Amino acid sequence: MRSVCPHDCPSACALLVTVEDGRLSDVTGDPAHPFTQGVICGKVRAYAERVHSPLRVLHPLRRVGAKGEGRFERITWDAAIAEIAERWRRILTTDGAEAIVPFSYAGTMGQVQYFAGHPLFHALGASRLDRTICVDTAYAGWRATLGAVTGNDSEQMVGADLIVLWGVNAAYSTVNVMTLVKQARERGAYVVCVDPYRTPTAEQADEHLMVRPGTDAALALGVMHVLIAEDRVDHEYIARATLGYERLAEHVTRYSPERVAEIVGLPAATIVALARRYGASPRSFIRVGIGLSRHENGGMTCRTIACLPALTGAYADDHGGALLSSTAGFGLDVRVLERSDLMPERRPRAINMIRLGHVLTDAAMAPPIKSLYVYNSNPAAVCPNQTLVLRGLAREDLFTVVHEQVMTDTAHYADLVLPATMSLEHEDLYRSYGHFYLQLAQPVLSPPGEATSNWEVFRRLSRALKVAEAHYAKSPAQLIRELLATGDATVEGITYERLRAEGWARVNLPHPYRPFADGAPTPSGRVEFYSERLARQGAPPLPTYVPLHEGPDNAELTRRFPLQCIVPPNRFFLNSSFSQSERLRRRQKTPTVLVAPADASARGISDGDAVVVTSERGAARFTAELTERTRPGVVVVEGVWWHRFHPGGRGVNVLTGDGIADMGGGPVFHSNLVQVARA
């Protein structure tokens, strides 16, 4: 039977699932899907263990112990809904609707279940959540240059002569890109990987550029310097499709290869060679990862990289250009699902999810947060400044409801835990942010116990609270039909019935797809090297390298915390998802910090030692792995382990800060100075 991977990954892989005696027995990739081509990651191949996990929540539960202990008693669904409705009515009367906060992100990428709670919370007038924890900074930077979050189709990179994998460990986080890269290499493409440490993706590239964390914009500017100085640019494309070239040309004179070499930690000759190779390859394709945006300067970094294909005209080539995300290629009007029209005339306050710890502990909040409803997310594990987050979740006067598939760290802090379905147990529509195919997934398993979908829980709450009832009277299938019917020309002819019969459909975009071949949907209608909008906001209007505050240039901080710590994904977890899998934890072995031998030697650390990593926010224990995969001055912690599986009971986000990046309100997980010592 067909299905779709629901997780927060660009690929949205098409799946074939086998069910025997009501249990999931096998998951493979569907080889018929044009993009995913039957390739799936090891996490999803082990999906049966997740679906049938002993940690599945099967019934509604009420807390009977202290918050964080994880002690609960079973209650009925009717009792759970009645208690939520009663507590919220009381809060509405005493503190107002803004004292209620929804907290969700991309635990499922299915459109119906992702947006299921929005209409209810809008109708209540609850605080709005700025869901910024992943892509918002990257998207803001991309839009500053290109106006829309889309790009050349990844399928076209098979015909590229040069592929630059910039800040993306595709072997872990979007495996299908590696399929395309392999096909491109077989026909002679040269592959460059830009990444602060030697990932499996870097190991498969022809060349790995191990830049210092947070300096990617400087590298891009150094490449621009050489391209312009040596006249390796496409003057025809620049004249008809871009804005601000003369200003850019003058601006990048200050980013000589020699100066950039000192910033990024690469030889000047390497920067020159990259620029010359890029300038000589009109069929050059840059696949940009979201991770490089999770720095204080992340938006400007994405904006700067997006300028490169405009200099060489690669945006106009059938096999060139760049892609960060395909999101804007899907002309779905999600207002059908989120129903922002239900909000009060005075829009409720917005809360940045990255600042959850501050929001829950700030005595000056008016009104204070009195109830938190968590779904599609595990904030106790994934939010930065974890110590503050846990302090807030432990508040006895905070009424917390967690709707969850498994008993997560966050669920341990809940007053009520509600059992949630998994994607194989409900219907949904999926778009991707790595390709241009819509997919429909039908339920193939019966929900275990009393597990209930997001949509159904909010329908019951809507009825109990008597808000947004007309919206929730519709079924998920009705909403999917309406979503497809109200979309733009990109989804014309793609119906619920067609998707149910065929499984997927490519949206109606040209093939090859070159959205910036003749300009961009910016205010000027051109690719903007110079942005008047950024200038009005007081930001640098031209691509600029901005040093990190929490980085090597901060002498005061580096005296105490001399190492940069980045926190990329690991092979076996997706953020904190799959951390509950005993088999995958065994394969990952233990929470590990990668340390360069020179840094380890200076601290008396041997391979396999227990160590403590400390930032100005907290400390966590890891096992040291000495490796040349990272450079001196940089340590790497891959993946997010749940607290209960982490030595000392606290994970990597004890270390990370909840500062806000330069654009879009996103996180700064990788702008993180630490010290490492033997435990």
Q: What is the pLDDT of residues 352-363, one digit of tens each?
A: 999 999 999 999
Question: Looking at residue 282, what is its pLDDT?
Answer: 83
| Residue 148 to residues 304, 329, 665, Cα–Cα distance (Å) | 15, 9, 17
| Residue 663 to residues 131, 132, 140, 671, Cα–Cα distance (Å) | 14, 11, 6, 15
The predicted model gives 326-340 an average pLDDT of 96
Res. 2: pLDDT tops 90: yes
Write the pLDDT tens digit of every residue in 485-500. Answer: 999 999 999 999 999 9
Tokens of 607: 């391979």
The predicted model gives 8-32 an average pLDDT of 96
> For the residues of 356-371, what is the DSSP string, one character each?
HHHHHH-TT-SSPP-E
Q: For 616-634, b where at least 16 C-beta lie within 10 A, e where not — what string?
A: ebbbbbbbbbbbebbbebb
Res. 575: pLDDT tops 90: no
The predicted model gives 526-547 an average pLDDT of 98
CATH architecture of 555-678: Beta Barrel (2.40)
SS3 175: helix
Q: What's the farthest any 2 CA atoms get from each other in the chain?
A: 72
Write the pLDDT tens digit of every residue in 243-273. Answer: 999 999 999 999 999 999 999 999 999 999 9
The mean of the pLDDT values for the chain is 97
Question: Looking at residue 581, what is its pLDDT?
Answer: 80
Q: Are 631 and 595 in contact (CB under 8 A)?
A: no
* CATH class of the domain comprising 61-134+330-506: alpha beta
Write the pLDDT tens digit of every residue in 185-205. Answer: 999 999 999 999 999 999 999
The predicted model gives 553-581 an average pLDDT of 91
Residue ranges in 545-675 assigned as alpha helix (H): 555-560, 582-588, 597-602
Q: For the chain, give every domain's residue range.
A: 2-51, 61-134+330-506, 152-323+517-536, 555-678
Q: Is beta strand 128-130 parallel, antiparallel or unpaired with respect to 162-166?
A: unpaired
pTM, two decimals, is 0.97
Res. 582: pLDDT tops 90: no
With a pLDDT cut of 90, the percent of the chain lying above it is 96
Contacts of 506 (CB under 8 A, 6+ apart): 34, 436, 437, 438
User: From CA 19, how far away is CA 143, in angstroms rounded?
Assistant: 44
Angle, helix 216-229 to helix 268-279, in steps of 10 degrees: 60
The predicted model gives 34-40 an average pLDDT of 95
Environment class of residue 31 by beta-carbon count within 10 Å: exposed (0-12), middle (13-18) or buried (19+)? exposed
Name the pLDDT band for 573 (thresholds 50, 70, 90). confident
**Residue 211 gets which letter from DSSP?**
P
- Superfamily name and number for 152-323+517-536: Dimethylsulfoxide Reductase, domain 2 (3.40.228.10)
Tokens of 271: 């920067």
Q: Are 471 and 458 in contact (CB under 8 A)?
A: no
CA-closest candidate to residue 85, choices 451, 375, 367, 463: 463
Question: Looking at residue 304, what is its pLDDT?
Answer: 99
Count the Cβ atoms, other than its own, within 10 Å of residue 339: 18
> For the residues of 634-671, what is the DSSP string, one character each?
EEEE-S---GGGSGGG--GGGT------SSTT---TT-
Question: Looking at residue 580, what is its pLDDT?
Answer: 82
Q: Reply yes or no: is the peptide bond before residue 213 cis, omega within 30 of 0.
A: no
- CATH 2.60.40.10 is right for the domain spanning 2-51: no
Write the pLDDT tens digit of every residue in 435-483. Answer: 999 999 999 999 999 999 999 999 999 999 999 999 999 999 999 999 9
